[in-house]
Amino acid sequence: MAYFAQQAVNAISLGFLYALIALGYTMVYGVLTMINFAHGDLFMLGAFICLLLVTFSPIALPFPILLVLVMLIIGGLGGLIERLAYRPLRDAPRVSAVITALGCGLVISNTTLSISPYSRAMPEVFNDQYFNVFGVGISTLQMLIIGVSLALMIGLDALIQKSRFGMALRAVAFDARSAPLMGISVNRIISLTFLIGTGLGGAAGMLYGMAFPVISASMGVLVGWKAFIAAVIGGIGNIRGAVLGGFILGTVEIFSVATLPSTYRDLISYSLLLVILIFKPYGILGRAPNIKV
Amino acid sequence: MSALLEIEDVTMRFGGLCAISNCRMTVPAGITHGIIGPNGAGKTTLFNLITGIYRPTEGIIRYKGRKISGQRPSRIALEGIGRTFQNIRIFKSLTVLENVRIAYDSQLRYGPMESLMRVGRYGRAEDESIARSMELLEHFGLSGFASIPASGLSYGSQRRLEIARALALKPALLLLDEPAAGMNTGETSALTEFLRDIRDHFQVTMILIEHHMHLVMNLCDKITVLDFGRVIADGTPAEIRANPRVIEAYLGESTE
């Protein structure tokens, strides 16, 4: 029983990380119907930026400051990529934008690889402690991952449901062609969407790097794909679906590793994607698009 | 006072197709201007040109004396031109209130950080935005549906919501693209009264595209007739009714 509870704690913290990354995919898809395949690499860069900040900062930066800096830098970079690489292709066929996104991702990961060819150890950002709660071990870091992710998700949900930006974002996602006629600057909304979505990915990269403290230029590939799967399982374009998908994937992974040989892990997650898509082609919370007349 | 809207020798080509050619039109403030013409005459294209969805191949469009052709649609909307669409294009995934607020809010000036932080000016602006949007919904008999998704409204209510949303921009010029589409005769005469009320209550100049001749003739002060992208007639309803070219091209046997 304690073993089960222990795995549940692990599953929740991994699920939160997948969900944070999946949010970036799904937000961008929601407004542009485009998959930002550079997202996984921006996630990886989040961990490296954190490493750089910790290594080169003259004073020891506390965790909250580090987190905000990483989110701003990665978010800014995501916004810049949108402005320079994706915006000129806004009216081009979607596949061109997707290929461009793959290209941007490769440029980011290979630039990182050329600077840091080997894996690096993530320094300890704070003194991690281990608590024993009714026989279940939970670390400060796990609590932090859960707390920070939860705060970011609640904040994002409030922003989208309640704020002026959120209304405009939903309007653009629904009909990007008529939104400008209501005075909405679509470019501004899309820039902000990238800023927020990739900022969340950067935060996830930093937290992931702290949880699995060996970081490398290629770490974004597999994790990025999995978060993408999480977004698709939940229903891509649907914010709550991304969170749900992240949790499902995190849970399935942790429990398959706990009960089966660990090499089955990815086989099982990808099979899950296939099975869910057969029964729910638009994902669990996704809806079939309205046919326009 | 100069005209509210001036269309000066505007031509719009799509490849080899000339959708609008050498269109001239002047709309003074305060009038209701009808645009009629057969399907494919270029009426909606003209609206798309005015609202900046298309840039004219040639010619200039001025609003309040300032050139607007070539500007982005969102800027033109904020200059004070609201519009509705032939096929209703409200944001169905948003609530009824949000549909109106979104147009109202786009005029408010505050940065993204303020809207993230919900501080100072933003909080008051938000209350004001909700209050003003509710007022508008009240006027249109939609306040009871404020918090339901717009997709849940009946067809007629969706049309009214779309007009309310356009009015939330506080436009001086309102463009209505076939407001009576899909309505029967009874509904159309109710719509005539409704539009008259909007004109008087909101002090708005209207340009409307419409096929229901009864509505156009009753409501409009001036009418422009388009055919194959050309203005073939321009005048008061009485003049249009008597114009042989119009009768030949369009009115023919279809009206009274």
Domain limits of chain A? 2-125+136-279
B256, part of any domain: no
The region of weakest confidence among A73-77, A83-87, B72-76, B114-118 is B114-118
The tens digit of pLDDT for each residue in A92-118 reads 888 899 999 999 999 999 999 999 999
Domain span at residue B220?
Answer: 5-251
> For chain B, where are the E strands, in sequence order?
5-14, 17-27, 32-36, 58-63, 66-67, 81-83, 173-177, 205-209, 222-227, 230-235
CA A264 to chain centre: 23
Q: With contacts defined as CB-CB under 8 Å, which chain B residues touch A180?
A: 52, 72-74, 77
Could you tell me what percent of chain B has a pLDDT over 90? 68
8 Å CB contact of B102 and A168: yes
For residue B122, name the pLDDT band (cuts at 50, 70, 90).
low
Q: What is the pLDDT of residue B242?
A: 87
8 Å CB contact of A182 and B103: yes
Interface membership of A158 toward B (CB under 8 Å):
no
List the single best residue of A87, A164, A167 to mutate versus B (max B Cβ within 10 A): A164
Q: What is the pLDDT of residue B107?
A: 83
Look at residue B136 and tell me whether its pLDDT is greater than 70.
yes
Interface membership of B112 toward A (CB under 8 Å):
yes
DSSP A86: I
Q: With contacts defined as CB-CB under 8 Å, which chain B residues touch A173?
A: 93
Contacts of A23 (CB under 8 A, 6+ apart): A153, A156, A197, A200, A201, A231, A239, A242, A243
Q: Which of residues 216-255 of A touch B (CB under 8 A)?
A: none
For residue B23, name the pLDDT band (cuts at 50, 70, 90).
very high
Q: Average per-residue pLDDT in chain A?
A: 90
Mean pLDDT of each 10-residue bin along chain A, 293 residues long: 84 93 93 92 96 90 94 97 94 90 95 92 83 82 91 91 90 92 93 95 96 92 92 90 93 89 87 89 78 44
Q: What is the pLDDT of residue B253?
A: 53
Q: What is the pLDDT of residue A4?
A: 84
Residue A282, CA distances (Å) to A76, A146, A241, A289, A292 in order: 31, 28, 11, 9, 18
Exposure on the CB side of residue B24, measured as CA atoms within 13 A: 5
Q: What is the pLDDT of residue A293?
A: 41
Please count the structural domains in chain B. Answer: 1
DSSP B64: T
Q: What is the pLDDT of residue A132?
A: 82
The tens digit of pLDDT for each residue in B158-185 reads 999 999 999 999 999 999 999 998 888 8
Residue B120, CA distances (Å) to A165, A266, B106 in order: 17, 50, 18
Question: The CATH number of the domain where B62 resides is what?
Answer: 3.40.50.300
Q: What is the pLDDT of residue B255?
A: 47
Q: Average per-residue pLDDT in chain B?
A: 88
d(CA B203, CA B197): 9
Interface membership of B77 toward A (CB under 8 Å):
yes
A·B CB contacts under 8 A: 74
SS3 for B102?
helix
Task: Report phi then psi at B200, rounded to 5.
Answer: -75, -40
Q: With contacts defined as CB-CB under 8 Å, which chain A residues touch B82?
A: 181
The fourth-level CATH superfamily of domain A2-125+136-279 is ABC transporter involved in vitamin B12 uptake, BtuC (1.10.3470.10)
Q: Is B175 left (phi over 0), alpha (psi -120 to 50) or beta?
A: beta
Minimal Cβ distance to A163: which of B78, B107, B115:
B115
Which residue matches tokens 């990025």?
A224
Interface membership of B186 toward A (CB under 8 Å):
no
Stretch B89-102: mean pLDDT: 94
What ipTM was predicted for this assembly? 0.85
Look at residue B250 and tell me whether its pLDDT is greater than 70.
no
**For residues B225 and B212, is the Cβ–Cβ distance under 8 A?**
no
d(CA A210, CA A183): 43
The region of weakest confidence among A57-61, B150-154, B213-217, B249-253 is B249-253
Look at residue B252 and tell me whether its pLDDT is greater than 80.
no
Q: Which contacts qualify for B129-136: CB closer than 8 Å, 24 or more apart?
A: B129/B101, B129/B104, B129/B105, B130/B97, B130/B101, B132/B104, B132/B168, B133/B97, B133/B100, B133/B101, B133/B104, B133/B168, B134/B97, B136/B100, B136/B104, B136/B164, B136/B167, B136/B168
The tens digit of pLDDT for each residue in A117-163 reads 999 998 888 778 888 877 788 888 899 999 999 999 999 999 998 88
Look at residue B56 and tell me whether its pLDDT is greater than 50.
yes
Amino acid (1-letter code) at residue A223: V
